[in-house]
Amino acid sequence: MWTSKDVYYVSGSTALLAEDMGQALLCQFQEISFHEEKLPFIKTTAAAEKALAHILEQSGGRRPLVFCTILDSQIRKIFDSPEVEFFDVFGRLLDQLEICLESKALRVPGSSRAIDDMTLAKRVEAIHFSIEHDDGTRTREYDEAEVILLGVSRSGKTPVSVYLATHMGIKAANFPLTTDDLNSYELPPEIIRNRKKVVGLTSTPQLLHKIREQRYSGSSYASIATCANELNQAKQIFLKYSIPVVGTDGKSIEETAVQVTQLVDIPKKQWRSIL
């Protein structure tokens, strides 16, 4: 059995789809270590040959895995080499769809991920907003937010905010529940009046303790007792204001972000066009 494998995601566009599909499959093999690399925007046979040479040199004859979403058959077949394990993500699926739909597929690379100027501008604006409204700053501008994340320190607010902005083009602010907030069980008026946009993030005391210990080892702040108490106080605040909650333990940032958008009812069409 292999203990490690080199994995390459090759594409005529961003390689995000190849990576998504490959990782969705490879995560089923937890005992194997995978060394991954994206090779995007391969649009010519010369670029494909150069990329394959790089793959073979890097992998040293260890039969790397190649996940491919290249639609041009001439370019794609270059990677279908006996020296690699080749996985054509589209493969026969498009052929089958053409037959059953009695229509020809576009076979245009990256058509589902194309970004026009307006979409790109929205993403950039969302990223700036997320940075400027991180960790409770500029709360007076929360009326402009599309999502406001609430939680105790180190509950995952910032990474989820950044993901919402960079991958979904959503203006996300995040607000830390401090000792004053937790002890008073009160929220600022800027959050209360935007309650429909607010989602609480929570975790388990054990996971929160582990995360806090990494930076403040042995501190009262990182103790299990403090973590458990703060999470319980936050829970009471969420209940008081009827704020929906997402548990971050055991979830990826992507999973948490999608759950957040579902809870604040952001239309999928709005953020899928960004992805």
Instruction: State the amino acid at position 265 in one-letter form.
Output: D
Residue 175 tokens, joined: 């607000």
Question: Domain residue spans in the chain?
Answer: 4-112, 117-272
Same fold: 4-112 with 117-272: yes
Query: pLDDT tens for residues 187-239?
Result: 999 999 999 999 999 999 999 999 999 989 999 999 999 999 999 999 999 99
Q: Which fold has domain 4-112?
A: Rossmann fold (3.40.50)
Residue 79 has pLDDT above 80, yes or no: yes
> Is residue 7 packed enough to be buried (19+ CB in 10 Å), middle (13-18) or exposed (0-12)?
buried
Q: What is the pLDDT of residue 254?
A: 87
Rounded Cα–Cα distance for residues 69 and 113 (Å): 13
CB-based contact 76:88 (threshold 8 Å): yes
- In total, the chain counts a number of residues equal to 275
CB-based contact 113:92 (threshold 8 Å): no
pTM of the model: 0.62
3-state DSSP helix/strand/coil % of the chain, to nearest 5: 50, 15, 35
Taking the CA atoms of residue 105, residue 122, residue 38 and residue 88 in that order, the dihedral angle to the nearest 10 degrees is -20
Q: What is the pLDDT of residue 267?
A: 58
CB-based contact 212:154 (threshold 8 Å): yes
Q: What is the pLDDT of residue 124?
A: 87
Q: How many CB atoms lie within 10 A of CB 124?
A: 13
* CATH number of the domain located at residue range(s) 117-272 in this protein: 3.40.50
Rounded Cα–Cα distance for residues 76 and 106 (Å): 16
